[in-house]
């Protein structure tokens, strides 16, 4: 990678906790995570906003985003494109013991140029720089047409023009992992050895990094972190967000057990569904607990719960025209949103010039309907000279230059 990883550059991604009993027909407590990028919008930038499934740029810097795209996919319609400045991070929590499989499907185009990286961390913190702990660093090199485990001097030919499985089998209990490229065992060693074999890593699966390193585009799809055993586990995805009456896409995931699976969603508002990936619209605002129950062909049950945060019609307060005149200033307060507003605090303040009377006036608009407006008026103003009128109403602020000519305010 030609650097010491101190960085000058930068799901349905979320953590899914399954709580279950150890009874015969209920799987034991496990975690699973998966993201196939299909619930995002084509062209969406995964840059750390709440609708990005936990994906963010290196150091939580949005300039290092990845792009959701339909240019390539192994499960239609989307994958994530990593190119040029991309340095896409997803952090995880709670993976401190047990045996796990981290899978990512990768497509390297035939005209790929540069060196791109797939990396896993045993410790990652925004801003930590070289104090982060890289457990696995895999380099994809177009010049030499190789895949290399960085610092281990082991390589295999780079495959382009088709989807390839990247699989990392991690045993945190015995401190060992194996990385497979298209089912070829490229490297195996202690998880805590770190990429450079310094031996100062941790028994934790903490983050993944899809790093372009200025290279041309590479695509990733159908990424997952699941138990190595055949235990049935599931994920409800999320957390989800939306507006009242908006159709929300829910995405279910399951692994292990014996297929086929049956799916049951409880949306927390009295409504249910039996599809793997249903849509649902809420008629009221609130935070709803969403539970997915998956049953396999032998009757084993797994459940996972996430949340859906639903927002009702919201007011949007703005300030329209500001006018002067004899002794007073008037301003129009507008509600351009879809919800009514109440108790809007406002002020009209004059700064600069010689203001003898009426330097600041405050008040409250008791209510303002959606689409409505109301004119607010200052107290009597007396002064002389150039001034700046600042009008605030709720979160909105607007400035207007003016001149006070004794009892007349000229705008």
Question: Are the C-beta atoms of 407 and 326 separated by less than 8 Å?
Answer: yes
The CATH fold assigned to 17-227 is Jelly Rolls (2.60.120)
* % of the chain exceeding 90 in pLDDT: 86
pLDDT at residue 127 is higher than 70: yes
Which letter does DSSP use for residue 260 in this model?
P
Report d(CA 155, CA 102) in Å as an integer.
20
Model pLDDT, residue 12: 31
Alpha carbons 91 and 279: distance in angstroms, whole number: 27
Query: Taking 60 as the threshold, does the pLDDT of residue 279 lie above it?
Result: yes
pLDDT value of residue 229 = 84
User: The tokens of 407 are what?
Assistant: 């009892």
3-state DSSP helix/strand/coil percent for the chain, to nearest 5?
5, 50, 45
CB-based contacts of 8, cutoff 8 Å, min separation 6: none
Say if 17-227 and 233-311 have the same CATH topology. Answer: no
- The whole-angstrom separation of Cα 200 and Cα 177 is 15
Q: What's the pLDDT at 29?
A: 38
Using the predicted structure, report yes or no on whether residue 293 has a pLDDT greater than 70. yes
Tens digits of residue pLDDT in 345-361: 999 999 999 999 999 99
232 or 212: which leads in pLDDT? 212
Q: What is the pLDDT of residue 51?
A: 87
Condensed to tens digits (0 to 9), the pLDDT of residues 46-68 reads: 999 988 999 999 999 999 999 99
Residue 346 host element (H or E): strand 341-351
Q: What is the mean pLDDT of residues 221-243?
A: 91
pLDDT score for 5: 35
pLDDT score of 26 more than 50: no
- Give the lowest-confidence range in 25-39, 278-292, 320-334: 25-39
The 8-class DSSP code of residue 353 comes to S
Whether the per-residue pLDDT at 82 is higher than 80: the answer is: yes
What's the Cα-to-Cα distance from 21 to each of 176, 266, 268, rounded to whole Å? Answer: 28, 20, 22
Q: How many angstroms separate the most distant Cα atoms in the chain?
A: 88
pLDDT category of residue 30 using cuts at 50, 70 and 90: low
Instruction: Provide CATH code, domain 317-410.
Output: 2.60.40.10
Mean pLDDT calculated for residue range 124-140? 97
- Gap between the Cα atoms of 129 and 150, Å rounded: 18
pLDDT digits (tens, 9 = 90+) for 373-404: 999 999 999 999 999 999 999 999 999 999 99
Whether the CB-CB separation of 358 and 378 falls below 8 Å is answered with yes
The answer to whether residue 161 scores a pLDDT higher than 50 is yes
DSSP string over 267-331: -SSS-EE-SSS-EE--SS-EEEEEEEEEE-TT--EEEEEEEEEEE-----EEEEEEE-EES--EE
Q: Which CATH number fits domain 233-311: 2.70.98.50, 3.40.50.720, 3.20.20.70, 2.60.40.10?
A: 2.60.40.10
Question: 223: closest CA among 8, 376, 411, 37?
Answer: 37
Across residues 315-325, what is the average pLDDT? 97
Count CB neighbours of 177 within 10 A. Answer: 25
- Domains of the chain by residue range: 17-227, 233-311, 317-410
């Amino acid at each position: 990678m030609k650097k010491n990883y101190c960085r000058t550059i930068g799901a349905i991604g979320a953590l899914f906790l399954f709580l279950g009993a150890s009874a015969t027909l209920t799987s034991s407590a496990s975690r699973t995570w998966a993201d196939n990028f299909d619930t995002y919008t084509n062209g969406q930038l995964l840059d750390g906003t709440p609708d990005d499934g936990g994906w963010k740029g290196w150091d939580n810097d949005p300039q290092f985003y990845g792009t959701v795209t339909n240019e390539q996919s192994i499960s239609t319609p989307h994958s994530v494109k990593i190119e040029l400045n991309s340095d896409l991070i997803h952090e995880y929590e709670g993976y401190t013991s047990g045996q796990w499989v981290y899978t990512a499907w990768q497509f390297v185009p035939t005209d790929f140029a540069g060196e791109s990286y797939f990396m896993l961390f045993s410790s990652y913190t925004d801003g930590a720089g070289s104090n982060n702990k890289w457990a696995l660093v895999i380099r994809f090199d177009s010049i030499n047409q190789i895949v290399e485990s960085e610092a281990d001097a082991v390589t295999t030919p780079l495959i382009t023009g088709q989807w390839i499985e990247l699989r990392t089998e991690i045993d945190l209990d015995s401190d060992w992992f194996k990385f497979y490229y298209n089912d070829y065992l490229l490297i195996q060693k202690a998880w805590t050895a770190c990429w450079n074999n310094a031996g100062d890593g941790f028994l934790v699966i903490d983050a993944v990094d899809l790093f372009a390193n200025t290279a041309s585009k590479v695509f990733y799809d159908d990424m997952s972190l699941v138990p190595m055993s055949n235990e049935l586990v599931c994920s409800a995805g999320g957390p989800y967000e939306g507006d009242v009456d908006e159709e929300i896409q829910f995405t279910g995931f399951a692994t292990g057990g014996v297929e086929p699976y049956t799916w049951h969603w409880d949306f927390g508002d009295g409504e249910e569904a039996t599809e793997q990936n249903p849509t649902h619209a809420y008629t009221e605002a609130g935070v709803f607990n969403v539970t997915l129950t998956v049953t396999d062909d032998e009757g084993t049950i797994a459940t996972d719960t996430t949340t859906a945060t639903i927002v009702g019609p919201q007011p949007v307060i703005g300030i329209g025209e500001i006018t002067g005149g004899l002794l007073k200033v008037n301003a129009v307060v507008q509600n351009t949103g879809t919800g009514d507003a109440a108790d809007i605090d406002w002020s009209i303040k004059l700064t600069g010039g010689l203001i003898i009377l009426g330097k600041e006036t405050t008040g409250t608009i008791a209510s303002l309907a959606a689409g409505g407006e109301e004119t607010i008026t200052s107290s009597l103003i007396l002064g002389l000279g150039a001034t700046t009128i600042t009008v605030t109403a709720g979160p909105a602020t607007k400035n207007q230059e003016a001149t006070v000519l004794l009892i007349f305010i000229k705008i």
